Structure 1
Amino acid sequence: MAKAILALADGRVFHGEAFGATGNTVGEVCFNTSMTGYQEILTDPSYTDQIITFTYPHIGNVGVNDADMESESISVRGCIVRAPSRITSNYRAEGDLDSWLQKNGVVGISGIDTRSLVRHLRDNGAQNGVIASDGMSESDAVAMAKAWEGLEGRDLCGQVSCDAASQWQQGGTYDLDAAEFTSPGADKHVVAFDFGCKRNIFRKLADRGLNVTIVPAQTSASEILAMNPDGIFLSNGPGDPAAVGYAVEEIRKLLDSDVPIFGICMGHQLLSQALGLSTFKLKFGHRGGNHPVKDETTGKIEITSQNHGFAVRDDNVPANVEITHRSLFDGTVEGLRVKGKPVFSVQYHPEASPGPQDADYLFDRFAEVIRG
Structure 2
Amino acid sequence: MGMCEVGQPVPVQIGSSGDSLREAFGRTLVQLGDQYLNFVVLDADIAGGTGTHHFRKAFPDRFYQCGIAEQNMMGVAGGIASVGLVPFVTTFAVFCLRALEQARLSVAYAKRNVKIVASHPGLDVGPDGGSAQCLEDLAAFRAIPGMVVISPADPYEMEQATKAVLMYDGPVYMRTGRSPAKRILHPNYQFEIGKGQILQQGKDVTIIACGVEVARALDAAVLLAKEGLSVRVVNMSTIKPIDRELVVSCAQETGAIVTAEDHNIYGGLGSAVAEVLVRDHPCPMEFVGVKDSFGESGEPEELAVKYGLCSKGIAEAVCRVLKRRESMEDSQATQMARSGQ
TM-score normalised by the chain length of structure 1: 0.33
Q: Which has the higher strand share?
A: 1
TM-score normalised by the chain length of structure 2: 0.35
Q: Which has the higher helix share?
A: 2
Which structure is richer in relative contact order (CA contacts within 8 A, separation 6 or more)? Answer: 2
